[in-house]
Amino acid sequence: MPGEADAAESKEPAGSGNGETGRPLSEPADDLVTTSHSITVDGAELRYTATAGRVVLRTEAHTDDKFDGPQAKAEIFMVAYTADVDEAEAARRPVTFAFNGGPGSSSIWLHLGVLGPRRVLMGDAGDLLPPPYGLADNEQTLLRHSDLVFIDPVSTGFSRAVKGEKSVQFHGFGGDIESVGEVIRLWTTRNDRWMSPKYLCGESYGTTRAAALARHLQERYGMYLNGLMLISCFLNGGSVMFTAGNDDPYVNYLPTYAAIASYHGKHGDRPLREVLDEAREYAATEYPRVLALGSRLSAPERAAAVTRIAALTGLSQEYVDRVDLRPEHIRFLTELLRDQRRTVGRIDGRFAGWDSDYGREAWTTDPSIDAIIGPYAAALNHYVRAELGYASDLPYEVLTDRVHPWSYKEFEGQHLFVLDKLAEAMRVNPHLRLHVACGYYDAATPYYAAENDIAHLAIPAELAANIEFAYYEAGHMMYMHEPSRLDQSARLAAFVS
């Protein structure tokens, strides 16, 4: 059937990396499996090759300035899709390296949600399918226009440090950039794709990784990229992290609060666009002034602010007053539908769930994560074995907390900030383009923060035309919403084409 292997030929035996392949644990080796597939797109057959498995990541070891040779550090799980075309066309085809974020997330979401040739069937907010869910051909796959390489950072998916190595060296900003960058270099070199157009597609913390990688790849390997697809941006911790004395997140979240309130009926029959425009105007003008004044705000001005913020967010005036005009995002998601005994999703504010106690200050679990993790985990665990032919007894870590605490030692005494690296990458390579995708109901990475951050890139005016934004009536993974998935697929195809 379409999407399944027509024939399978293993370059090396697949295994779990625990000795099943017959190789000693002290000598890790790549365990890649290659299968052939086809998919029908717009009435035409697209044949492609899938390569799944773990690639050994090595570093150059030295003792007393003497070269000891490459030393195995980690085994990185990846899935690559390449169209079956002639050699000349293959060299011209773009290649897109994709990863999600977390930190602690595998690439499962972009892989089976929007980019890959197969996709999850799970329903949507308010109409979820029951287990065991399903898989279908993705006729809008980006593989139509670009080869694809999905990368799971160390400790996510099937990726692990090798025996005797500590995983913690990869669990941080710097180690993560170096390891993922090395995987990209290895794949590009081994597949003779240095002369191909190259793109990165990152989601959430994956946008942090992509922005930093754009500069790292330039500096470390002389690898210049053609574009970055930044889905649900996290480029500046100061824009979205609720820390003492920082009012920026309250301002940046306000339009997202208004959007979610609108979805749940708090704005009556007003059009979403009208609600968003009003919230954006207040966030751009009066709200920062009100917060900056603090106790200097007069009683009439404070009363007016309480009324306005409550109207925009759907919260009660009493609640807005109690939180000093500053509703934090988890508190907002817990409070918005409290009178209905429902909680609201952070990853996607369209989803609502239940809790055991409606007097809580913060919900115990994100109902949107609860809704989506099951379908994706079931699909990946079936797909990688039954269709890609890769067997492993390791658990596939979809979204793990084993990477925490994540190290931000490079930002000691300050918040995470990669806008400088992104700007430098664009100044060095003026052909580098950005596609920024935002979901209106995304309460993890608010779209107004992305707009403000990108507006502060230190690039010359001539490069502003290299940046494009796309907006969707959906959440963090906007492709969960079918109309948004179709629209996003077309936009990403146009970007790499």
Would you mind telling me the total number of residues written for the chain in this entry?
Answer: 497
- For residue 444, the one-letter residue type is A
3-state secondary structure of 397: strand
What's the rounded Cα separation, in Å, for the pair 437 and 202?
A: 10
Encoded tokens for 125: 């907010």
Contacts of 200 (CB under 8 A, 6+ apart): 96, 97, 98, 210, 213, 214, 225, 227, 228, 229
- Own/partner contacts of 216-221, CB < 8 Å, gap of 24 or more, are 216/177, 216/178, 216/181, 216/421, 217/181, 217/184, 217/185, 218/425, 218/428, 218/429, 220/181, 221/181, 221/185
| pLDDT digits (tens), the chain, 497 positions | 334 333 333 333 333 344 344 444 458 999 999 999 999 998 999 999 999 999 999 988 777 777 777 889 999 999 999 999 998 888 899 999 999 999 999 999 999 999 999 999 999 999 999 999 999 999 999 999 999 999 999 999 999 999 999 999 999 999 999 999 999 999 999 999 999 999 999 999 999 999 999 999 999 999 999 999 999 999 999 999 999 999 999 999 999 999 999 999 999 999 999 999 999 999 999 999 999 999 999 999 999 999 999 999 999 999 999 999 999 999 999 999 999 999 999 999 999 999 999 999 999 999 999 999 999 999 999 999 999 999 999 999 999 999 999 999 999 989 999 999 999 999 999 999 999 999 999 999 999 999 999 999 999 999 999 999 999 999 999 999 999 999 999 999 999 98
CATH topology of domain 7-238+372-496: Rossmann fold (3.40.50)
- Region of residue 135 (phi > 0: left; psi between -120 and 50: alpha; otherwise: beta): beta
Q: What are the domain boundaries of the chain?
A: 7-238+372-496, 243-368
Cβ proximity of 449 and 240 under 8 Å: yes
